[in-house]
Amino acid sequence: MSISNHVKNGGGMTGTMSTSMVGTTPPVAASKPTVTVIVCTYNRIQWLSKCLRSLEEQDPHPDEIMVVDGPSNDGTREMLELLESKGDIVLVKQPKLDGISSARNLGLAMAKSDIVCYIDDDAIAQPGWLRSILEMYSEEDVGGGGGPVMNMIGELTMGKNAVAPNGEWFDESRGECTDGLAQVMVGCNMSFRRDALAGIGGFDPYFKYHQDETDACLGVLHAGYRILYHEGAVVWHEWCEGSYRKDRIKWYLRLRYMWGRNNSYLVRKHFSDRVGFSEYFGSRMAGFVERRVPRGIIEKHEAKQENDGGGMPAFFIAMGMVSETYGLLKGWRDGGHAR
Protein backbone atom coordinates (compact mmCIF):
# COMPACT_ATOMS: atom_id res chain seq x y z
CA MET A 1 0.00 0.00 0.00
CA SER A 2 1.33 3.43 -0.88
CA ILE A 3 0.66 6.40 1.34
CA SER A 4 1.26 8.84 -1.49
CA ASN A 5 -2.28 8.44 -2.84
CA HIS A 6 -4.40 11.55 -2.70
CA VAL A 7 -6.61 12.03 0.36
CA LYS A 8 -9.20 14.71 0.47
CA ASN A 9 -8.04 16.91 3.34
CA GLY A 10 -10.24 19.94 2.79
CA GLY A 11 -9.12 23.52 3.04
CA GLY A 12 -6.53 24.25 5.67
CA MET A 13 -6.47 27.30 7.89
CA THR A 14 -3.79 29.81 7.07
CA GLY A 15 -2.24 32.28 9.45
CA THR A 16 0.77 33.31 11.44
CA MET A 17 2.24 32.68 14.85
CA SER A 18 0.48 34.19 17.82
CA THR A 19 1.92 37.64 18.36
CA SER A 20 1.16 37.43 22.06
CA MET A 21 3.83 34.76 22.38
CA VAL A 22 6.28 35.77 19.68
CA GLY A 23 6.33 39.56 19.82
CA THR A 24 8.60 40.48 16.92
CA THR A 25 9.39 38.15 14.06
CA PRO A 26 12.47 36.10 15.03
CA PRO A 27 15.42 35.80 12.66
CA VAL A 28 15.40 32.94 10.19
CA ALA A 29 17.50 30.01 11.34
CA ALA A 30 20.66 29.22 9.40
CA SER A 31 19.48 25.70 8.58
CA LYS A 32 16.11 24.00 8.61
CA PRO A 33 15.72 21.58 11.54
CA THR A 34 14.98 17.95 10.75
CA VAL A 35 11.61 16.60 11.84
CA THR A 36 10.10 13.25 12.80
CA VAL A 37 6.31 12.90 12.87
CA ILE A 38 5.17 10.23 15.34
CA VAL A 39 1.78 8.53 15.16
CA CYS A 40 0.69 6.15 17.93
CA THR A 41 -1.98 3.69 16.80
CA TYR A 42 -4.00 0.64 17.73
CA ASN A 43 -6.61 -1.04 15.51
CA ARG A 44 -7.62 2.00 13.45
CA ILE A 45 -6.40 0.97 10.01
CA GLN A 46 -8.86 3.07 8.00
CA TRP A 47 -8.19 6.28 9.92
CA LEU A 48 -4.47 5.63 10.13
CA SER A 49 -4.28 5.31 6.34
CA LYS A 50 -5.83 8.77 5.95
CA CYS A 51 -3.49 10.23 8.55
CA LEU A 52 -0.40 8.80 6.86
CA ARG A 53 -1.43 10.05 3.44
CA SER A 54 -1.88 13.55 4.85
CA LEU A 55 1.67 13.38 6.24
CA GLU A 56 3.07 12.10 2.95
CA GLU A 57 1.59 15.12 1.18
CA GLN A 58 3.17 17.71 3.51
CA ASP A 59 5.53 20.26 2.00
CA PRO A 60 8.21 20.07 3.24
CA HIS A 61 8.09 16.31 3.63
CA PRO A 62 8.94 14.94 7.11
CA ASP A 63 12.43 13.52 7.45
CA GLU A 64 10.82 10.56 9.24
CA ILE A 65 7.26 9.30 9.53
CA MET A 66 7.20 6.96 12.52
CA VAL A 67 4.31 4.78 13.64
CA VAL A 68 4.19 3.18 17.08
CA ASP A 69 1.80 0.22 16.81
CA GLY A 70 0.66 -1.44 19.95
CA PRO A 71 -0.07 -4.24 18.93
CA SER A 72 -2.87 -4.06 16.33
CA ASN A 73 -4.70 -7.15 15.05
CA ASP A 74 -7.00 -5.58 12.43
CA GLY A 75 -4.51 -5.60 9.56
CA THR A 76 -2.69 -2.46 10.71
CA ARG A 77 0.55 -4.29 11.58
CA GLU A 78 0.70 -5.96 8.16
CA MET A 79 0.04 -2.66 6.39
CA LEU A 80 2.76 -0.94 8.39
CA GLU A 81 5.29 -3.72 7.76
CA LEU A 82 4.69 -3.32 4.02
CA LEU A 83 5.11 0.45 4.21
CA GLU A 84 8.30 0.02 6.21
CA SER A 85 9.71 -2.42 3.63
CA LYS A 86 9.18 0.30 0.99
CA GLY A 87 10.95 2.88 3.12
CA ASP A 88 7.80 4.99 3.59
CA ILE A 89 7.72 4.80 7.39
CA VAL A 90 9.65 3.68 10.46
CA LEU A 91 7.65 1.07 12.39
CA VAL A 92 8.04 0.76 16.17
CA LYS A 93 6.37 -2.36 17.52
CA GLN A 94 4.92 -1.89 20.98
CA PRO A 95 4.89 -5.25 22.83
CA LYS A 96 1.65 -4.48 24.69
CA LEU A 97 -0.78 -1.66 25.27
CA ASP A 98 0.63 0.42 28.11
CA GLY A 99 -0.94 3.85 27.70
CA ILE A 100 -0.31 6.77 25.40
CA SER A 101 2.68 8.13 27.34
CA SER A 102 4.62 4.89 26.99
CA ALA A 103 3.83 4.72 23.28
CA ARG A 104 4.95 8.31 22.73
CA ASN A 105 8.15 7.67 24.66
CA LEU A 106 8.96 4.69 22.42
CA GLY A 107 8.74 7.02 19.43
CA LEU A 108 10.82 9.69 21.16
CA ALA A 109 13.57 7.17 21.94
CA MET A 110 13.76 6.07 18.30
CA ALA A 111 13.45 9.50 16.65
CA LYS A 112 16.61 10.94 15.09
CA SER A 113 15.41 14.42 14.16
CA ASP A 114 15.70 17.82 15.86
CA ILE A 115 11.91 18.20 16.14
CA VAL A 116 9.35 15.54 17.07
CA CYS A 117 5.71 16.09 16.09
CA TYR A 118 2.81 14.08 17.49
CA ILE A 119 -0.46 13.64 15.64
CA ASP A 120 -3.25 11.19 16.50
CA ASP A 121 -4.07 8.30 14.20
CA ASP A 122 -7.61 9.66 13.72
CA ALA A 123 -6.37 13.13 12.71
CA ILE A 124 -5.55 14.57 9.29
CA ALA A 125 -2.80 17.15 8.89
CA GLN A 126 -3.97 19.99 6.67
CA PRO A 127 -1.84 21.51 3.88
CA GLY A 128 0.82 23.77 5.38
CA TRP A 129 0.74 22.03 8.77
CA LEU A 130 4.37 20.96 8.90
CA ARG A 131 5.69 24.15 7.34
CA SER A 132 3.88 26.14 10.03
CA ILE A 133 5.29 23.86 12.74
CA LEU A 134 8.85 24.39 11.54
CA GLU A 135 8.42 28.17 11.36
CA MET A 136 8.07 28.22 15.15
CA TYR A 137 11.53 26.77 15.78
CA SER A 138 13.72 29.58 14.50
CA GLU A 139 14.92 30.43 18.01
CA GLU A 140 16.67 28.01 20.35
CA ASP A 141 14.50 28.80 23.38
CA VAL A 142 11.37 27.49 21.65
CA GLY A 143 10.73 24.07 23.13
CA GLY A 144 7.31 23.31 21.66
CA GLY A 145 4.73 24.43 19.14
CA GLY A 146 1.19 23.53 18.17
CA GLY A 147 -1.86 24.81 16.38
CA PRO A 148 -5.64 24.65 16.00
CA VAL A 149 -7.68 21.45 16.11
CA MET A 150 -10.79 21.36 13.93
CA ASN A 151 -13.56 18.80 13.61
CA MET A 152 -14.02 16.95 10.33
CA ILE A 153 -16.14 19.71 8.80
CA GLY A 154 -13.58 22.40 9.60
CA GLU A 155 -15.06 23.90 12.77
CA LEU A 156 -12.66 24.94 15.52
CA THR A 157 -12.81 22.61 18.53
CA MET A 158 -9.61 23.59 20.36
CA GLY A 159 -7.32 26.55 19.81
CA LYS A 160 -4.64 28.31 21.84
CA ASN A 161 -4.82 26.70 25.27
CA ALA A 162 -3.35 27.53 28.65
CA VAL A 163 -3.61 25.92 32.06
CA ALA A 164 -4.09 27.60 35.45
CA PRO A 165 -2.37 26.47 38.68
CA ASN A 166 -5.59 24.72 39.74
CA GLY A 167 -5.51 22.59 36.58
CA GLU A 168 -8.31 24.38 34.71
CA TRP A 169 -7.86 24.75 30.94
CA PHE A 170 -8.63 28.01 29.11
CA ASP A 171 -8.85 28.56 25.35
CA GLU A 172 -7.89 32.00 24.05
CA SER A 173 -9.47 31.13 20.70
CA ARG A 174 -12.85 31.07 22.47
CA GLY A 175 -12.35 34.47 24.03
CA GLU A 176 -11.14 33.16 27.39
CA CYS A 177 -8.34 35.07 29.08
CA THR A 178 -5.01 33.23 29.32
CA ASP A 179 -2.87 36.07 30.70
CA GLY A 180 -0.33 34.80 33.20
CA LEU A 181 -1.21 31.14 32.56
CA ALA A 182 1.03 28.38 31.21
CA GLN A 183 0.55 27.81 27.47
CA VAL A 184 0.03 24.16 26.59
CA MET A 185 -0.81 22.14 23.49
CA VAL A 186 -3.44 19.61 22.44
CA GLY A 187 -2.13 16.04 22.25
CA CYS A 188 -3.34 15.36 18.71
CA ASN A 189 -1.42 18.39 17.36
CA MET A 190 1.80 19.11 19.21
CA SER A 191 5.52 19.24 18.58
CA PHE A 192 8.64 19.55 20.71
CA ARG A 193 12.32 20.18 20.30
CA ARG A 194 13.56 16.63 20.81
CA ASP A 195 16.36 17.55 23.22
CA ALA A 196 13.95 19.63 25.33
CA LEU A 197 11.41 16.80 25.64
CA ALA A 198 14.07 14.16 26.25
CA GLY A 199 15.69 16.46 28.81
CA ILE A 200 12.62 16.28 31.07
CA GLY A 201 12.39 12.51 30.68
CA GLY A 202 9.71 12.51 27.98
CA PHE A 203 6.09 11.79 28.87
CA ASP A 204 5.24 10.70 32.40
CA PRO A 205 3.99 7.06 32.24
CA TYR A 206 1.63 7.86 35.13
CA PHE A 207 -0.69 9.33 32.50
CA LYS A 208 -2.10 6.38 30.59
CA TYR A 209 -4.27 8.89 28.77
CA HIS A 210 -5.59 12.41 29.49
CA GLN A 211 -3.33 15.26 30.70
CA ASP A 212 -0.16 13.55 29.40
CA GLU A 213 0.42 16.38 26.93
CA THR A 214 -0.26 19.06 29.56
CA ASP A 215 2.28 17.50 31.90
CA ALA A 216 4.93 17.38 29.15
CA CYS A 217 4.27 21.01 28.20
CA LEU A 218 4.61 22.15 31.80
CA GLY A 219 7.86 20.24 32.13
CA VAL A 220 9.29 21.92 29.03
CA LEU A 221 8.14 25.35 30.27
CA HIS A 222 9.67 24.78 33.70
CA ALA A 223 12.94 23.86 31.97
CA GLY A 224 13.08 27.40 30.57
CA TYR A 225 11.68 26.93 27.06
CA ARG A 226 8.78 28.71 25.36
CA ILE A 227 5.77 27.08 23.70
CA LEU A 228 4.29 28.80 20.65
CA TYR A 229 1.02 28.59 18.73
CA HIS A 230 0.64 28.94 14.96
CA GLU A 231 -2.74 29.43 13.28
CA GLY A 232 -1.51 27.64 10.16
CA ALA A 233 -0.57 24.38 11.93
CA VAL A 234 -4.04 22.87 11.53
CA VAL A 235 -5.22 19.30 11.97
CA TRP A 236 -8.73 17.94 11.50
CA HIS A 237 -9.56 15.42 14.22
CA GLU A 238 -12.23 12.74 14.47
CA TRP A 239 -12.99 11.63 18.03
CA CYS A 240 -12.94 7.89 17.28
CA GLU A 241 -13.83 5.03 19.56
CA GLY A 242 -10.80 3.72 21.43
CA SER A 243 -10.09 0.33 22.96
CA TYR A 244 -11.14 1.63 26.40
CA ARG A 245 -14.51 3.04 25.25
CA LYS A 246 -16.32 -0.18 24.36
CA ASP A 247 -18.49 -0.32 27.49
CA ARG A 248 -20.25 3.01 27.90
CA ILE A 249 -20.87 2.81 31.65
CA LYS A 250 -17.47 1.40 32.59
CA TRP A 251 -15.74 3.96 30.40
CA TYR A 252 -17.76 6.83 31.87
CA LEU A 253 -16.84 5.87 35.43
CA ARG A 254 -13.20 5.27 34.52
CA LEU A 255 -13.05 8.56 32.64
CA ARG A 256 -14.35 10.46 35.66
CA TYR A 257 -11.80 8.68 37.85
CA MET A 258 -8.98 9.57 35.43
CA TRP A 259 -10.15 13.21 35.24
CA GLY A 260 -9.83 13.47 38.99
CA ARG A 261 -6.65 11.45 39.41
CA ASN A 262 -4.64 12.93 36.54
CA ASN A 263 -5.62 16.53 37.16
CA SER A 264 -4.87 16.28 40.86
CA TYR A 265 -1.51 14.61 40.20
CA LEU A 266 -0.67 17.29 37.64
CA VAL A 267 -1.48 20.16 40.00
CA ARG A 268 0.50 18.78 42.91
CA LYS A 269 3.45 17.85 40.69
CA HIS A 270 3.75 21.29 39.10
CA PHE A 271 1.85 23.83 41.22
CA SER A 272 1.76 22.69 44.87
CA ASP A 273 3.90 25.68 45.83
CA ARG A 274 1.03 27.89 44.63
CA VAL A 275 -2.10 25.82 45.30
CA GLY A 276 -2.81 23.96 48.55
CA PHE A 277 -5.02 20.91 48.85
CA SER A 278 -7.97 22.71 50.46
CA GLU A 279 -8.08 25.38 47.75
CA TYR A 280 -7.69 22.80 45.00
CA PHE A 281 -10.28 20.41 46.40
CA GLY A 282 -12.78 23.25 46.80
CA SER A 283 -12.37 24.41 43.21
CA ARG A 284 -12.79 20.86 41.93
CA MET A 285 -15.96 20.29 43.92
CA ALA A 286 -17.44 23.44 42.43
CA GLY A 287 -16.40 22.27 39.02
CA PHE A 288 -18.21 18.97 39.44
CA VAL A 289 -21.50 20.76 39.74
CA GLU A 290 -20.93 23.60 37.28
CA ARG A 291 -19.31 21.75 34.40
CA ARG A 292 -19.56 18.00 34.52
CA VAL A 293 -22.94 17.11 35.94
CA PRO A 294 -25.20 18.44 33.16
CA ARG A 295 -23.42 16.90 30.17
CA GLY A 296 -19.92 15.55 29.64
CA ILE A 297 -17.75 14.32 26.84
CA ILE A 298 -19.44 10.93 26.95
CA GLU A 299 -22.79 12.46 25.91
CA LYS A 300 -21.15 14.27 23.00
CA HIS A 301 -19.75 10.97 21.81
CA GLU A 302 -22.96 9.02 22.32
CA ALA A 303 -24.97 11.66 20.45
CA LYS A 304 -23.11 10.58 17.31
CA GLN A 305 -24.29 6.97 17.63
CA GLU A 306 -27.49 5.72 16.02
CA ASN A 307 -28.55 3.98 19.21
CA ASP A 308 -28.09 7.04 21.38
CA GLY A 309 -30.33 6.77 24.41
CA GLY A 310 -29.96 10.29 25.72
CA GLY A 311 -27.93 11.62 28.65
CA MET A 312 -26.25 9.56 31.33
CA PRO A 313 -28.73 8.47 34.06
CA ALA A 314 -28.59 10.49 37.27
CA PHE A 315 -27.42 7.47 39.27
CA PHE A 316 -24.34 7.03 37.14
CA ILE A 317 -23.64 10.78 37.22
CA ALA A 318 -23.60 10.52 41.00
CA MET A 319 -21.36 7.46 40.81
CA GLY A 320 -19.12 9.42 38.46
CA MET A 321 -18.75 12.17 41.05
CA VAL A 322 -17.71 9.60 43.65
CA SER A 323 -15.28 8.04 41.20
CA GLU A 324 -13.76 11.41 40.34
CA THR A 325 -13.41 12.35 44.01
CA TYR A 326 -11.60 9.09 44.74
CA GLY A 327 -9.29 9.73 41.79
CA LEU A 328 -8.63 13.27 42.98
CA LEU A 329 -7.50 12.06 46.40
CA LYS A 330 -5.29 9.36 44.94
CA GLY A 331 -3.75 11.71 42.39
CA TRP A 332 -2.88 14.28 45.06
CA ARG A 333 -1.13 11.61 47.11
CA ASP A 334 0.75 10.26 44.11
CA GLY A 335 1.70 13.74 42.97
CA GLY A 336 3.57 14.28 46.23
CA HIS A 337 5.96 11.48 45.28
CA ALA A 338 6.50 12.93 41.79
CA ARG A 339 7.85 16.29 42.92
Cβ contact 224:270 at 8 Å: no
Q: Does residue 8 form part of some domain?
A: no
Residues 232 and 310 in one domain: no
Distance CA 113, CA 34 (A): 5
The burial class, CB within 10 Å (0-12 / 13-18 / 19+), for 83 is buried
Question: What does each C-alpha distance from 40 to 37, 103, 112, 310 come to in angstroms?
Answer: 10, 6, 17, 32
pLDDT of residue 282: 81
pLDDT of residue 271: 94
Residues 263 and 199 in one domain: no
Residues 296 and 333 in one domain: yes
Domain count for the chain, please give it. 2
The domain of 276 spans 248-338
pLDDT of residue 312: 67
Residues 102 and 155 in one domain: yes
pLDDT of residue 247: 61
Instruction: Give me the average pLDDT of each 10-residue run along the chain (339 residues).
Output: 40 41 40 94 95 98 97 96 97 93 97 97 97 97 98 94 94 92 97 98 94 97 98 91 61 86 95 89 71 45 38 74 88 87
Residues 161 and 286 in one domain: no
Taking CB atoms within 8 Å and a gap of at least 24, the contacts of 300-306 are 300/239, 301/239, 301/241, 301/245, 302/248
Residues 193 and 284 in one domain: no
- The DSSP symbol for 242 reads -
Which of 237, 257, 286 lies at the terminal end of a domain, its last residue? 237
Which of 237, 260, 283 lies at the terminal end of a domain, its last residue? 237
Cβ contact 62:130 at 8 Å: yes
Residues 221 and 327 in one domain: no
Distance CA 333, CA 261 (A): 9
CA nearest neighbour of 269 among 189, 182, 145, 159: 182
Q: Does residue 7 form part of some domain?
A: no
